[in-house]
Amino acid sequence: MAGIYIHIPFCKQKCHYCDFHFSTSLQTKENLLNALQKEILLQKNFLEGEKISTIYLGGGTPSILKQDDLMKLFDVIYQNFPIATDAEITLEANPDDLHTKKIKELKQTDVNRLSIGVQSFQDADLQFMNRAHCAEEALDSIKRVQDAGWENITIDLMYGTPTLSDEDWQHNMQTAIDLNVPHISAYALTVEEDTALHHLIRHKKCAPVEEEKSAMQFMQLMDNLEKAGFIQYEISNFAQKGFYSKHNSNYWRDKNYLGLGPSAHSFNGTFRQWNIANNIRYIQQIFQGVVPAETEKMNVKQRYNDYILTTLRTIWGVNTSIVKSQFSSKYEHFLLNSAQKWIDSDHLLKNNELLTLSKKGKLIANYISSDLFWVD
């Protein structure tokens, strides 16, 4: 089972921390949506007929699309790909878009899962991030979605911001728990180059991000959501039983996926591909019948490193027998030797053939993963 990701590169305004590809101008929206339909036709053989179990519309802000826009995209996808009858179809939405009329329109589409970009239930936090909604809108949007019958929803929360105290972070988590949201994705604020946040910090117009504070709030997150019955099935993702994100789980479990739209990435087991991050050039080349993408055939070392990077973040962990069968016993021996010091220090847990991160290991997951990489 494979997945399809569709990148919708438009937003109402730019969040200070965001480095994703998008535009705040909607002038090219109609042409880009037409180009997306064309790309679906051009890319229909990339996954070699594999059945599609998930479709994910991300961005950007997919909730700016109208009902007709979504239905046209879904129609072309269903005409060109074998879609599972129980496919998970997720749409990312901003709280300020989720008014009653919009929710009713979404109910008339194939979307069956909503990802709501809340980020915080604190107005000071939202203003710091330059979000388009306020805390009241965040609360009201979730309640409206639930009242309309949506059960499979997830919200994003962010911690480690200069404006977020430990008490406010506790309030954010408890609010989500009290709302009976079954899935929470929670991320530490990171400072990416060429973002507004990077500029503000560099010019001392904003307090820098404190790593120690982020680490403490991450520990709060793990402890509180565990007590509330959530399963941390990936470092940043927590779900009640039965509400794991199937689409993102496929990424983390090394499944194939096709990315459509500017800046979207794809992987089919042999090749990885990434589209150009430019709306105008994307549209022009698609209309000329060319997918504007770079493609790379992955070697064994790259496949091994990708496997470590993605699977170690999850509850399912790294399987040493899979490493042996897919990459060779040489890689298995290297992995076990490299992992031993982390096992001895209780950062990694070994259960038969599985290696998983302990709670303290999750605090330095990227460092541990890089230490397990094969480097020539």
φ, ψ (nearest 5 deg) of residue 89 = -125, 110
DSSP H or E segment with residue 123: helix 123-129
**pLDDT score for 192:** 81
222-230: Cβ within 8 A, 24+ apart: 222/359, 222/362, 224/170, 224/173, 224/174, 224/177, 225/173, 225/177, 225/184, 228/177, 230/184
Q: Alpha-carbon distance 31 to 25, whole Å?
A: 13
The domain locations on the chain are: 2-251, 299-376
pTM listed for this prediction: 0.95
Contacts of 162 (CB under 8 A, 6+ apart): 128, 206, 207, 208, 209, 210
**pLDDT score for 30:** 96
- Nearest of 134, 212, 342, 364 to residue 220 by alpha carbon: 212
Q: Alpha-carbon distance 196 to 249, whole Å?
A: 31
**pLDDT score for 304:** 96
**pLDDT score for 20:** 78
**pLDDT score for 358:** 97
Q: Alpha-carbon distance 135 to 128, whole Å?
A: 13
* 256-272 residue pLDDT tens: 999 999 999 999 988 89
If DSSP codes are grouped into helix, strand and coil, which group holds residue 192? coil
Q: What does the pLDDT profile of the chain (376 residues) look like in tens digits?
A: 899 999 999 988 888 788 778 888 889 999 999 999 999 999 999 999 999 999 999 998 999 999 999 999 999 999 999 999 999 999 999 999 999 999 999 999 999 999 999 999 999 999 999 999 999 999 999 999 999 999 999 999 999 999 999 999 999 999 999 999 999 999 999 878 888 777 777 878 788 878 999 999 999 999 999 999 999 999 999 999 999 999 999 989 889 999 999 999 999 988 899 999 999 999 999 999 999 999 999 999 999 999 999 999 999 999 999 999 999 999 999 999 999 999 999 999 999 999 999 999 999 999 999 999 999 8
Q: Alpha-carbon distance 256 to 266, whole Å?
A: 8
**pLDDT score for 193:** 81
Architecture in CATH of 299-376:
Orthogonal Bundle (1.10)
DSSP H or E segment with residue 138: helix 135-147
**pLDDT score for 345:** 98
Q: Alpha-carbon distance 349 to 160, whole Å?
A: 27
* 18-72 residue pLDDT tens: 877 888 888 999 999 999 999 999 999 999 999 999 999 999 899 999 999 999 9
**pLDDT score for 206:** 80
Residues found in the chain: 376
2-251: CATH topology is TIM Barrel (3.20.20)
Q: Alpha-carbon distance 259 to 293, whole Å?
A: 11
**pLDDT score for 334:** 98
Peptide bond into 60 cis (omega under 30): yes
